Structure 1
Amino acid sequence: MKFEESENLTKFIHKKIELSFGKFFICEDFVVAELNHEIHVDWLIIQKIANMIIELYGTSKKIGFISNKVNSYSIDPFVWVTFSKEYDFIEAAAIVWYNDAGFMSSTLEKMFLKNSVKLCESLEEAVQWILNSEEIRN
């Protein structure tokens, strides 16, 4: 379910940012990313996302990140290795998958992420997990 179609749209004050490769919903303690169908996420796209988040939250705030895989896209999982070395603002991440292919790619991505990661079957599950994670509450 897309963020804009969920109850979360009215539950959380948020800012919507649309970039050429996806939509981002910026909430107080987390970001929901919904990337476009059939794009390939490489280091350049990851840098654009990271810079946008730093611009909005600053460099000291620790946040949660939810990848809401409502569309099918590919990602170079090795970008997460570089990301972990370059940036440290994401404390917990949730990946929401909706089909077998999404589950398989999410499982692969999880292996490359250094922080706390949960695979979720719904956006609501992901939001609740992020909000209840100790990393975000501290």
Structure 2
Amino acid sequence: MTTVLQFEFGKVEIFDFYIVTTMKEGIIVIPEYNNELINVANKYFKNKPFAYITNRVNSYSVDPKIYIETSKIKNLVAFAVVTKEAINMSNVEVEKIFLKKPFQQFETLDEAIYWAKHIIKDTTVA
């Protein structure tokens, strides 16, 4: 069963081993939004590895500094971006520099989930 949470920045869908976020059109993703991600991690994935998948269907900006704080979430073990837009693909290359976790870009949500599943199956969180 999926849990859906609404935030000022967008929607977060929670699944067994991953979350899918869909950001609102035109927002700027800032480091302060990590507090919500930390709360989700603590509530739904306590002592359990999980992946973050962002489904970039809307146009928005990401402050790359957000990934410095995101990297500190111990049980976050994989980060995926789903997009077919060329500009988003080039942005992902810059974003990868800031996140110290496995970080990949995919064209479909199914590909991202498959990748995340394989990373998580071999991961344990202390």
TM normalised by structure 2 equals 0.88
After TM superposition, give the deviation of residue 52 of structure 1 in Å: 2.5
- What letter is aligned with 2:113? V
In 1: Cα distance, 2:53 partner to 2:63 partner: 17
Q: Among residues 93, 100, 109, which one is paired with 1:107 in the alignment?
A: 93
In 2: Cα distance, 1:52 partner to 1:33 partner: 12
TM normalised by structure 1 equals 0.81
Is 1:119 matched with 2:108?
Answer: no
Give the fraction of aligned pairs with identical amino acids, expressed as a percent. 27
SS in 1 for 2:97: helix
Cα displacement string for residues 28-78 of structure 1 (whole angstroms, at most 9, x for unaligned residues) = 0000111111101111112222222322222x1110110111111111101
Q: Among residues 66, 70, 77, which one is paired with 2:53 in the alignment?
A: 66
Q: Retained in 1: the 8 A contact 2:23–2:60?
A: yes
In 2: Cα distance, 1:18 partner to 1:66 partner: 16
In 2: Cα distance, 1:126 partner to 1:82 partner: 22
Structure-to-structure mapping, 1:13-92, within 5 angstroms: 13-58=1-46, 60-84=47-71, 86-92=72-78
- What letter is aligned with 2:59? S
- What letter is aligned with 1:38? G
Instruction: Kindly tell me the number of residue pairs found equivalent between the two proteins.
Output: 122
Aligned-pair RMSD on alpha carbons? Answer: 1.3
- What letter is aligned with 2:77? E
- What letter is aligned with 1:66? I
In 2: Cα distance, 1:18 partner to 1:39 partner: 14
Unaligned 5+ segments in structure 1 are 1-12
- What letter is aligned with 1:120? F
In 2: Cα distance, 1:35 partner to 1:108 partner: 19
* Runs of 4+ with >4 A deviation: none
Q: Retained in 1: the 8 A contact 2:28–2:60?
A: yes
